[in-house]
Structure 1
Amino acid sequence: MKKHLTATLAGAAAIAALAVPALAADPISGRWVTQEKNAIVTIGNCGSSVCGRISKFLETPPDGANQRDVNNPDKSLRSRKLMGLPVLTGLREDGDLWRGDIYDPEAGKTYRSVIRRKGANRLEVKGCIGPFCQTQIWTRP
């Protein structure tokens, strides 16, 4: 009986060890084209969390490649360039999701964000206020 219990526990531990990676979020790092196809955001490590920065404009902004963050409600931040600006910040793995914040430079607003990989070439990006979310699909370039 003791051998059977030991074998059962060992088997359960092996199954549990295999199941843990399935709960981990798929990596989201790399280059992603926004749903509007106006920019590429590069996602990668930023210190202790993950962030995403505008790395290329696919459509030239109204004020050209040196477009500033003119819609930011904080007047002291309106002179910073959009190129290189972190639009995804504080992303942390949470099961099969990534949670953090997303900044919309067109509206000058920051929202709670939930991100999930939807295959090798698709990223589901949500911006939320309370229980209400808007979802976009970003793709590999």
Structure 2
Amino acid sequence: MRAVVLLLGGLLAAGTALAQMSPVGLWRNIDDKTGEVKAEIRIAEANGVVNGRIVRRLAKSAKPDAVCDECSDDRKGQRLDGLEIIRGARKADGKDVWEGGKILDPENGRDYALRLTPQDGGKRLDVRGSFGPFGRTQTWVRVE
């Protein structure tokens, strides 16, 4: 009986660790230029595809009713709180990397190619947005 309990406990712990090596969850994004915490973003998965929305903005300069004026697609005029900024990323075969989707920078309304890479046992997430050979990476921190 004790062996069964230990086995089940080990399987639960392993499952939790594996789940953490995923971009799914609540994250705080930190501006790579200023070091300021800007927002909390919730990333969710459905049918193997991850998408993410701004839950709330935390930047000191955030205006409560701000909308995406710079967006040129269906997100134009939508409130920034609740705005979907990550669309369509999928897990790469055999890697702990999600790619193939797009990430929106609501400050300029542009979509960038996206790559999400969990780090540090899933406590951090490298979020890379790129356009051709150019891009930048932010490290987001998981909200426990």
Q: TM-score, normalised by structure 1?
A: 0.73
- Equivalence for 2:16: none
1:59, distance to aligned residue in structure 2 (A): 2.1
Q: What is the alpha-carbon distance in structure 2 between the residues aligned to residue 117 and residue 48 of structure 1?
A: 16
Matched, 1:53 2:53: yes
- Equivalence for 1:125: 127
1:57, distance to aligned residue in structure 2 (A): 1.3
- Equivalence for 2:103: 102
Q: Which runs of 4+ in 1 moved over 3 A?
A: none
Summarize deviations over 1:108-139 as a string: whole Å, max 9, x none.
Answer: 10000111001231100000111222111001
Paired residues for 1:1-141 under 5 Å: 26-36=21-31, 37-46=37-46, 49-59=49-59, 64-74=63-73, 77-94=75-92, 95-99=95-99, 100-119=101-120, 120-141=122-143
Seen in structure 2, the aligned counterparts of structure 1 residues 140 and 96 have a Cα distance that, compared at 3 Å, is closer
1:87, distance to aligned residue in structure 2 (A): 0.6
Whichever residue aligns with residue 118 of structure 1, its letter is: Q
1:96, distance to aligned residue in structure 2 (A): 2.2
1:77, distance to aligned residue in structure 2 (A): 4.0
Seen in structure 2, the aligned counterparts of structure 1 residues 44 and 88 have a Cα distance that, compared at 3 Å, is same
Unaligned runs of 5+ in 1: 1-24
Q: TM-score, normalised by structure 2?
A: 0.71
1:50, distance to aligned residue in structure 2 (A): 0.9
**Residues paired across the two proteins, number:** 115
Q: What is the alpha-carbon distance in structure 2 between the residues aligned to residue 52 and residue 131 of structure 1?
A: 24
**Which structure: larger Rg?**
1
SS of the aligned residue for 2:30 comes to coil
1:38, distance to aligned residue in structure 2 (A): 1.2
1:88, distance to aligned residue in structure 2 (A): 0.8
**CA-atom RMSD in angstroms:** 2.0
Summarize deviations over 1:47-84 as a string: whole Å, max 9, x none.
Answer: 5511010001112555x22211111134x643211111
